[in-house]
Structures are given as C-alpha cells and as structure tokens.
Structure 1
C-alpha cells in the first residue's frame, strides 16, 4: 500500500490528475453551455482531489500494480480516474432528468 502523506508532490499529482480527468470528461461528453462546462469541471476537480488516493489504491490493487507503481503514479491515476468518473454518473443523470423531467 502506498504511503500518502502531505507531500507537495502528491498534492501536485492530485491536482494534475483531477484536472486531466475533468478535461477529458469535457471532451468525451461535450457540455451544452459554459455553465454546464464549469460545473462539470469543478465537480470533476473536487472529486479527483477528494477521492484520488482511495481510487488510485483500489485501481493499483485490482490490476496487481501496487508493487510497481510509485505513490505519485498511484495518486495521479486515481485522481484522473475519480475525476473522469465523477461527471459520467452525474452528467448522465442530469441529461436523463432534463429530458424526462419536463
């Protein structure tokens, strides 16, 4: 298991991974307007920073990569995955509710 301390490098990995995941989520599912884009980006950023560590550890253990990945790589991949997945669930629910809620 990786040791996640308050190291500045790990916070950088969280921020970069969360930003990358949020940007990719905007590319794959294009927003309808600027407000939706900002909402999705900041939702992804927050989820990537908050859940990046646990997601990275879970992914590394599921893929049997815990021994080969550094703490930085684990945090980066976990933050990107958590950020990317955050909006997929929320975005799909938002669009379904918008379509059938009228």
Structure 2
C-alpha cells in the first residue's frame, strides 16, 4: 500500500522522482500543445507519487539491489520509472487516438 507518512526524506524522493520522470520524458516525446503537456505532467507526477513505492521495490527486487539501496533511493527510482511510463503511455495514447481520429474523418 502506498504510504504518505511524515517521513520527509522518502516523500521528497517520491516527489522528486515523479517530477524527474516527467521531465526526462520531455526529451523523448514532446507534447504538441500546452494542454497536452499539462495533462501529461499531472498524470506523470500523480502516477509517480502513487506507484513509486511498488515500482521501486519491484525493480530493486528484480535487479537484486535491495541490499545495496536505501529506501529513499528505491523510492526515487520507482517514482521516476512510474512517472516516465505514465508520460509515455499517455503520450502514445494521444498520438494513436489523434491518428485514428484523422483517418475516421476522411
């Protein structure tokens, strides 16, 4: 379960990771307008905050790094990955629906 406790270090890592994932995604898949950028940013940050913990634990376990990383590092990596995936998923969905909508209107 996602825990929004008063542990400032872990929550800060979660927030920084969520924003970093969205920022990194800008390099790879640029939004077409301000509205798309805002929606994808909010979605990326929200997904990073919500799914950062489970994603970080899953990745650290799969890579065998749980003994070598602190909780904040696992949270930072997980939030970044969750945000990055959400940004890409939403961006891909927007592009596919735009493309399909253009073909349907012809």
**Shared fold (TM-score, shorter chain, > 0.5):** yes
- Report the count of equivalent residues: 99
CA distance in 2, matches of 1:32, 1:18: 21
The equivalent of 2:49 in structure 1 is: 49
Question: Which consecutive aligned stretches of 4+ in structure 1 deviate over 6 angstroms post-superposition?
Answer: none
Q: Which has the larger radius of gyration?
A: 2
CA distance in 2, matches of 1:59, 1:38: 28
Shift of 1:96: 0.6
Q: How does 1:1-102 map to 2 (within 5 A)?
A: 6=5, 7-102=7-102
CA distance in 1, matches of 2:32, 2:44: 17
Question: If the length of structure 2 is used for normalisation, what is the TM-score?
Answer: 0.89
Cα root mean square deviation, aligned: 1.2
Question: If the length of structure 1 is used for normalisation, what is the TM-score?
Answer: 0.92
Contact 2:47 2:82 in 1 (8 A): yes
- Structure 1: which 5+ residue stretches go unaligned? none
CA distance in 2, matches of 1:15, 1:89: 20
Shift of 1:47: 0.2
